[in-house]
Amino acid sequence: MISIQHVSKKFLSKSALENVSLELESGKIIGLVGENGSGKSTTLKLIAGLNKPTKGTITINGVPSTHRIANQVAYLSELDEYYSFYNVGETIDFHASQFPDFNKEKAEEIREFMNLDRNAKLKHLSKGNRGRLKIVLTLAREVPVILMDEPLSGLDPMVRESIVKGLISFIDLEKQVVLITTHEIKEIETILDDVIVIKDGSIIGHHNVESLRIEQNMGIVEWMTTIYNR
């Protein structure tokens, strides 16, 4: 599904990624974790074709990842990039007009689950509700690759668990792969199949989450702490 081969990325003299290689298969929800500045967001932007690698190659189903790969990838950014003068419904309608793969019926179903008022103006939404809208717009696209950069950022801790559980029902794991960066590891651990740990631009661990629990009697945070301190 996603093939990353010997990818490095530099911004001027700063190295953001260093010789990263990964093979990510469909049918999985994968967590990409690490401290701030470790290279998580850079990895997602490279897969989405928003940045070009300095070295190496990235392909999605054999197609090189460039700015034209948008028909294969739904990308939830940490940033708010929507028109503030629209309301929620108008924003959904606008995205439906931009992406042929956008499923409006599914978007409305997710919107209702997220308890978002269709008539609410974006400029009046709280950070948490703007985050919910970003999830709606991302998961309503029927594409093979879903990239989510800190999707729980700004959400009230009291509702994170219910939203995380709801994500499962809106993902087609027979056809999609989902890659999520997050600092809220414990909240999202229950839905992850695999976890990848990145440090200083290099992959230092890649493991199946269930195997961690059964074979090593560890959760993600404990395992991550162990390998981070080596």
pLDDT surpassing 90 at residue 134: yes
Q: How many domains does the chain have?
A: 1
Q: Which residue is listed with tokens 């717009």?
A: 137
| pLDDT of amino acid 166 | 82
Strand 63-64 to 73-76 pairing: unpaired
pLDDT tens readout for residues 142-161: 999 999 999 988 888 878 88
| pLDDT of amino acid 15 | 93
Higher pLDDT, 157 or 135: 135
CATH code for the domain in which residue 176 is found = 3.40.50.300
| pLDDT of amino acid 154 | 80
Beta bridge partners of 176: none
Annotate 36-59 with b (16+ C-beta within 10 A) or e (fewer): eebbbbbbbbbbbbbbebeebebe
Going edge to edge, which strands form the sheet with 55-60?
14-24, 2-11, 55-60, 63-64
pTM over 0.85: yes
Joined together, the tokens standing for residue 73 give 């990838």
What's the domain range around 13?
A: 2-228
